[in-house]
């Protein structure tokens, strides 16, 4: 289950038709109390109903993968540079009035457009501005932190996977690391299968200590246990996608503890994305583990609230 409870309905309606009723009935009976009202008792009731039809195995379960070492996950807050903050505020000011005058699908599309722009600004001004030959160093808090992490990890013999959802950002990172003399490989969805396989082979062989990866192209199906550090340079809306990407390194065959670093720009949309992702994880736990119900799917109002800076909300 990746996005909301209707994912669960779709699977069980196929495997066990009629168990959860029609989609409309399911939304009224379960989606509203579990997601919208966040009723923990409703979450437990749904878990009891679907429990006999679910089989879930996690690496942390006893006996599943006892040989796996520890995994540590850390949110790494970073401050925007002055240039990033100015671009961020200008982008919000430019589009919020337009969003306020729109409704329906048009409003939703504008909010998504704004969110995308703000996330790109949080990554690096050069990505948002689409600069062809940018100066990269010193303009992004995230890039500065990535440099600091690599300076600590690489001399100790570590190897790092760096995931970003934007191919353009991955290319900027590749250029920056090359300029600094840091060996890095880059894999994205535009490469043929043979080229991807060759990059994986080269990373496993120790040709470069850093592997830059497009999240959607490399988030599943690869075995990259040479890496003992995973950096999520930006956040994806779906926590399951991030977890699968992390599991390229944290999987059977890994012999070293794995550290996961999530870079989050403070006081920005990324803070709220982090809360959203935590909410979606809780939603999965509410149904699969009968834990508390979690954050509902965002309304238009909540989406708009995501875009404002820190204390200005």
Ordered by where they begin, the domains of the chain are 5-55+270-303 (no CATH), 71-79+136-265 (3.40.50.300)
Full pLDDT tens readout for the chain, 313 residues: 555 788 888 988 888 888 888 998 888 888 888 877 777 788 888 888 887 877 665 655 544 455 677 899 999 999 999 999 999 999 988 888 888 888 777 877 887 788 889 999 999 999 999 998 899 999 999 999 999 999 999 999 999 999 999 999 999 999 999 999 999 999 998 999 999 999 999 999 999 999 999 988 876 678 899 999 999 999 887 777 888 899 888 887 788 899 999 999 999 988 877 776 676 666 555 544 433 233 223 455 665 676 777 754 4
Angle, helices 40-50/5-15, rounded to nearest 10 degrees: 20
Q: What is the pLDDT of residue 100?
A: 80
Distance (Å, whole) CA 73 – CA 291: 21
CA 189 – CA 220 distance, rounded (Å): 12
Q: What is the DSSP string of 21-75?
A: --HHHHIIIIIIIIIIS--HHHHHHHHHHHGGG-----TTSTTTSTT---EEEEE
Phi, psi for 9 (deg, rounded to 5): -60, -45
User: Residues for the chain: how many in total?
Assistant: 313
Alpha-carbon distance 97 to 92, whole Å? 9
pTM of the model: 0.75
Tell me which H or E stretch contains 13.
helix 5-15
Q: For the chain, give me the number of helices (H) and strands (E)?
A: 13, 6
pLDDT score, position 191: 92
How many Cα neighbours within 13 Å face the side chain of 308?
Answer: 10
Whether residue 136 contacts residue 124, with contact meaning beta carbons closer than 8 Å, is answered with yes
How confident is the model at residue 289, as a pLDDT? 41
Q: What share of the chain is helix, strand, coil (3-state, %, to 5)?
A: 55, 10, 35
Distance CA 198, CA 200 (A): 5
For residues 91 and 97, what is the distance between their CA atoms, to the nearest angstrom? 11
Distance of alpha carbon 126 from alpha carbon 133, whole angstroms: 9
The reported pLDDT for the residue numbered 83 is: 98
Cβ density class 10-47: b for 16+ within 10 Å, e for less: eebbeeeeeebeeeeebbebbbebbbeebbbebbbbbb
Phi, psi of 69 (to 5 degrees): -75, -175
Please give the pLDDT value at position 237.
72
- Determine the pLDDT at residue 218: 78
User: In angstroms, rounded to a whole number, what is the distance separating the alpha carbons of residues 5 and 284?
Assistant: 8
């Amino acid at each position: 289950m990746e996005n909301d409870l209707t994912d669960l309905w779709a699977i069980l309606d196929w495997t066990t038709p009629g168990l959860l009723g029609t989609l409309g009935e399911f939304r009224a009976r379960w989606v509203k109390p579990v997601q919208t009202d966040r009723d923990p008792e409703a979450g437990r009731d749904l878990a009891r109903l679907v429990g006999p039809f679910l089989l879930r195995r996690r690496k942390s379960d006893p006996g599943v993968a006892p040989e796996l070492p520890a995994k540590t996950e850390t949110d790494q807050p970073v401050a925007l540079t002055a240039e990033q903050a100015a671009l961020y505020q200008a982008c919000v000011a430019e589009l919020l009035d337009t969003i306020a005058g729109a409704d329906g699908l048009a409003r939703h599309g504008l909010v998504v457009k704004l969110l995308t722009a703000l996330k790109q600004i949080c990554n690096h001004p050069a990505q948002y501005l689409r600069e062809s030959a940018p100066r990269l160093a010193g303009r992004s808090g995230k890039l500065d932190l990535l440099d600091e992490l690599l300076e600590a990890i690489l001399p100790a013999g570590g190897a790092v996977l760096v995931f970003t959802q934007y191919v353009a950002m991955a290319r900027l990172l590749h250029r920056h690391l090359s300029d600094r003399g840091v060996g890095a490989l880059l894999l994205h969805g535009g490469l043929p299968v043979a080229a991807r396989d060759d990059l994986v082979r080269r990373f496993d062989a120790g040709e470069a200590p850093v592997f830059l990866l497009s999240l959607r192209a490399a988030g599943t199906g690869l075995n990259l246990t040479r890496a003992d550090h995973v950096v999520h340079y930006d956040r994806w809306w779906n926590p399951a996608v991030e977890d699968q990407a992390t599991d390229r390194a944290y999987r059977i065959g890994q012999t070293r503890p794995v550290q996961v670093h999530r870079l989050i720009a403070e006081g920005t949309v990324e803070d709220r994305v982090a809360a959203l992702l935590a909410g979606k994880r809780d939603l999965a736990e509410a149904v699969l583990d009968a834990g508390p119900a979690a954050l509902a799917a965002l309304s238009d109002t909540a989406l708009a609230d995501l875009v404002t800076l820190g204390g200005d909300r």
